[in-house]
Amino acid sequence: MDKKNALRAGALAAGTTLMMLLMSSPASALIRDDGDDPGKNGLSVGETLGLYVLAPLALFAVIAGLVMALDKSKDRQPKAKAKA
Protein backbone atom coordinates (compact mmCIF):
# COMPACT_ATOMS: atom_id res chain seq x y z
CA MET A 1 0.00 0.00 0.00
CA ASP A 2 1.57 3.22 -1.03
CA LYS A 3 1.51 6.48 0.88
CA LYS A 4 -1.26 8.04 -1.24
CA ASN A 5 -3.67 5.16 -0.65
CA ALA A 6 -2.87 5.09 3.06
CA LEU A 7 -3.55 8.81 3.33
CA ARG A 8 -6.81 8.41 1.43
CA ALA A 9 -7.92 5.53 3.68
CA GLY A 10 -7.05 7.49 6.82
CA ALA A 11 -8.95 10.54 5.62
CA LEU A 12 -11.97 8.42 4.76
CA ALA A 13 -11.92 6.72 8.17
CA ALA A 14 -11.54 10.04 10.01
CA GLY A 15 -14.31 11.65 7.95
CA THR A 16 -16.68 8.75 8.53
CA THR A 17 -16.01 8.79 12.27
CA LEU A 18 -16.51 12.55 12.47
CA MET A 19 -19.80 12.37 10.56
CA MET A 20 -21.09 9.59 12.80
CA LEU A 21 -20.22 11.60 15.90
CA LEU A 22 -21.88 14.72 14.56
CA MET A 23 -25.05 12.92 13.47
CA SER A 24 -25.58 10.94 16.66
CA SER A 25 -27.83 12.22 19.41
CA PRO A 26 -26.83 12.43 23.07
CA ALA A 27 -27.74 9.61 25.41
CA SER A 28 -29.88 11.83 27.66
CA ALA A 29 -28.66 10.04 30.76
CA LEU A 30 -29.96 12.80 33.03
CA ILE A 31 -33.60 11.89 32.34
CA ARG A 32 -34.81 9.01 34.51
CA ASP A 33 -36.69 6.17 32.80
CA ASP A 34 -39.63 4.21 34.16
CA GLY A 35 -38.41 1.22 36.12
CA ASP A 36 -34.98 2.73 36.66
CA ASP A 37 -33.70 1.58 40.05
CA PRO A 38 -30.06 2.59 40.50
CA GLY A 39 -28.13 1.62 43.59
CA LYS A 40 -27.24 4.08 46.33
CA ASN A 41 -23.53 4.12 45.55
CA GLY A 42 -21.74 3.41 42.31
CA LEU A 43 -18.69 1.22 41.92
CA SER A 44 -15.45 2.43 43.38
CA VAL A 45 -12.32 2.67 41.25
CA GLY A 46 -10.99 -0.58 42.67
CA GLU A 47 -14.25 -2.43 42.06
CA THR A 48 -14.45 -1.10 38.51
CA LEU A 49 -10.88 -2.15 37.70
CA GLY A 50 -11.44 -5.54 39.29
CA LEU A 51 -14.66 -6.14 37.37
CA TYR A 52 -13.62 -4.87 33.95
CA VAL A 53 -9.84 -5.50 33.93
CA LEU A 54 -8.76 -8.13 36.46
CA ALA A 55 -11.70 -10.52 36.11
CA PRO A 56 -11.35 -10.89 32.30
CA LEU A 57 -7.57 -11.30 32.63
CA ALA A 58 -8.04 -13.98 35.30
CA LEU A 59 -10.62 -15.78 33.16
CA PHE A 60 -8.25 -15.67 30.18
CA ALA A 61 -5.41 -17.04 32.31
CA VAL A 62 -7.56 -19.89 33.63
CA ILE A 63 -8.74 -20.88 30.14
CA ALA A 64 -5.21 -20.64 28.70
CA GLY A 65 -3.83 -22.67 31.60
CA LEU A 66 -6.46 -25.39 31.14
CA VAL A 67 -5.77 -25.58 27.41
CA MET A 68 -2.02 -25.89 27.96
CA ALA A 69 -2.41 -28.39 30.83
CA LEU A 70 -4.86 -30.62 28.98
CA ASP A 71 -3.05 -30.52 25.64
CA LYS A 72 -2.11 -34.10 24.75
CA SER A 73 -0.13 -33.51 21.56
CA LYS A 74 3.51 -34.50 21.76
CA ASP A 75 5.19 -33.14 18.65
CA ARG A 76 5.46 -29.40 18.29
CA GLN A 77 7.68 -29.33 15.20
CA PRO A 78 6.06 -28.73 11.81
CA LYS A 79 6.05 -31.84 9.66
CA ALA A 80 8.39 -31.94 6.67
CA LYS A 81 6.69 -31.89 3.29
CA ALA A 82 6.99 -35.08 1.32
CA LYS A 83 8.99 -34.79 -1.89
CA ALA A 84 7.11 -35.75 -5.03
In-domain check, residue 56:
yes
pLDDT, tens digit, for every residue of 17-63? Answer: 999 988 887 776 777 777 777 778 888 999 999 999 999 999 999 99
CA–CA–CA angle 41, 46, 48 (5° rounding): 65
Domain total of the chain: 1
Q: Is residue 47 part of a domain?
A: yes
DSSP class per residue in 10-68: HHHHHHHHHHHHHHSPP--TTSPPTT----SS---HHHHHIIIIIHHHHHHHHHHHHHH
Domain with 50 in it: 43-71
Whole-model pTM? Answer: 0.48
Give the N- to C-terminal CA distance of the chain in Å, as an integer.
37
